[in-house]
Amino acid sequence: MNEILEVINDFIVPVIFLVNICFALTVVFIERKNPSATIAWLMALLFAPIIGFILYLFVGQSFYRDRMFGMKKEEDEVLTRVIESQKKELFTKAASISEPLSDAYKRMILMLMESNKAALTTHNQVRVFIDGNEKFSSLLEAIRGAQDHIHLEYYILKDDEIGTEIFAALTERAKAGVSVRFLGDGLGAAGPKKSFFAPYLAAGGKLAFFFPSLLHISHPRINYRNHRKIAVIDGKIGFIGGYNIGDDYLSRIPEWAPWRDAAVRVEGHAVLAMQIRFFLDWNYAAKSDILEFAPRYFPEHVVDPDARLPMQVVSGGPDTYWNPIKESYLKLISLATESVYIQTPYFIPDESIMDALRMAALAGIDVRIIIPSKPDHWFVYWAGYSYIGQLLDAGVRAYTYNTGFIHAKTIIVDEVAASVGSANWDVRSFRLNFETNAIMYDSTVSKELKHHFLNDLKVCTEMTPERYANLPKKIKIKQSVSRLFSPLL
């Protein structure tokens, strides 16, 4: 045993230290991360070499990101040119906006068009889900009614009751001749064994994984994950939001029940924008099954005269030059005149988000944030708690959701606009993961989401400045340590 320790001290530790110096130089001169992240990495690599070494292997080393996603970016640009005519067609058919949007919101729409190629669609109908049983019941109904194709893209897939039910329905439609594709993330959807997919694949269903490991097991890298949750059925019905495929999302796991999430079912031209997003991601992940932009996938929509909801489908990730998800959040906050209501399970904002929320509150805007009362990732949770505490003095009101777990990723502004999607309010969603949100410029949907938010407050506890100041010392220590390394997350 002593000989092993001597080898570790005499050889392994010095090697790790030298490697860490190389990593540190890479962080400073090659990756050129933002200053706070750079300092955090230098501290981890040089002052806690073994821990820093392990962390960097799993969540660092982004210097090859451009090489990894360079082809994806080129492919996106090529395919964007191909679909430009479809976008123009969408604008032609959806030229008017029923909602009396101010010039400021129109500027936001233009900003997202320019920065994210996010087409504005207005002929849409939306149904809001805050309960997983209702959401998956609607999704299964749509799957079982599919006639031409089914495209599903989910970060997490579990081989539990709902996962089995979803894939049984997909297998049945594949046997019936429907074209079925499922895109999972190489980390989040790595749990099910090959036997789980066997009937589906035998029926003709297509399967692909985003950024998988070589052995098709759980990927050791937690960066650059496809965190999106999108479903498109026949190019006519779309689902987008925060629900993954697992029993916990239907409140079937007692530890996390009831599970509070948010998603929307969409019928209308915005479904075609979701379809485009699926095409781009599928063609990057499934190299041997390239989807062509055939008319069958972009059908003519029978427009309901009453379906006038304006929507943009906004996507972000490490392959985008700017941060469209974060910028959409910032713009929404800046446009508020009365209220900003936010729900998120993970709250690790950067300085721009912190400043925007603080200034809104100081300007008299009713800013409220709901986060969980218990962590599913304790390090992230306690870091977020510290950021919440910093906002309280500015007048931001924060609440912990006390029954079950809140996983919704929403913002509602002034009963005028709202966003529902996969992006959390953290650095990972802003810079490291692939995310997609639906931004809706509609008073009816905004009022409905606001109603659900206010109803959630009935089962929340407000984190007042006094309560925060009186937290036990051990919690404050957790917050301080977690926040110190939050730029690494």
Exactly one of 33, 135, 219, 409 is catalytic; name it: 409
CATH code at 324-488: 3.30.870.10
Average pLDDT over residues 42-55: 54
Average pLDDT over residues 375-397: 88
Exactly one of 234, 248, 442, 456 is catalytic; name it: 234
Catalytic residue status for 135 = no
Exactly one of 117, 229, 326, 331 is catalytic; name it: 229
pLDDT at residue 86 greater than cutoff 50:
no
Of 481 and 285, the one with more pLDDT: 285
pLDDT at residue 11 greater than cutoff 90:
no
Find the range with the poorest average confidence among 25-29, 165-169, 447-451: 25-29
Domain with CATH 3.30.870.10 in the chain: 66-93+123-307, 324-488
Answer whether 0.85 is exceeded by the pTM.
Answer: no
What band does 30 get if pLDDT is binned at 50, 70 and 90?
A: very low
To the nearest whole percent, how much of the chain has pLDDT over 70? Answer: 76
How confident is the model over 255-313, as pLDDT tens digits? 999 999 999 999 999 999 999 999 999 999 998 899 998 999 999 877 677 778 999 99
Exactly one of 414, 426, 442, 456 is catalytic; name it: 414
Pick the CATH number of 66-93+123-307 from 3.30.870.10, 3.40.50.620, 3.40.50.300, 3.90.1150.10: 3.30.870.10
Which residue has tokens 């821990």? 51
Catalytic residue status for 451 = no
Catalytic residue status for 229 = yes
Q: Which class for 15: exposed (0-12), middle (13-18), buried (19 or more C-beta within 10 A)? A: exposed
Exactly one of 117, 135, 407, 452 is catalytic; name it: 407
What band does 99 get if pLDDT is binned at 50, 70 and 90?
A: low
User: What mean pLDDT is reported for the chain?
Assistant: 84
pLDDT at residue 57 greater than cutoff 90:
no
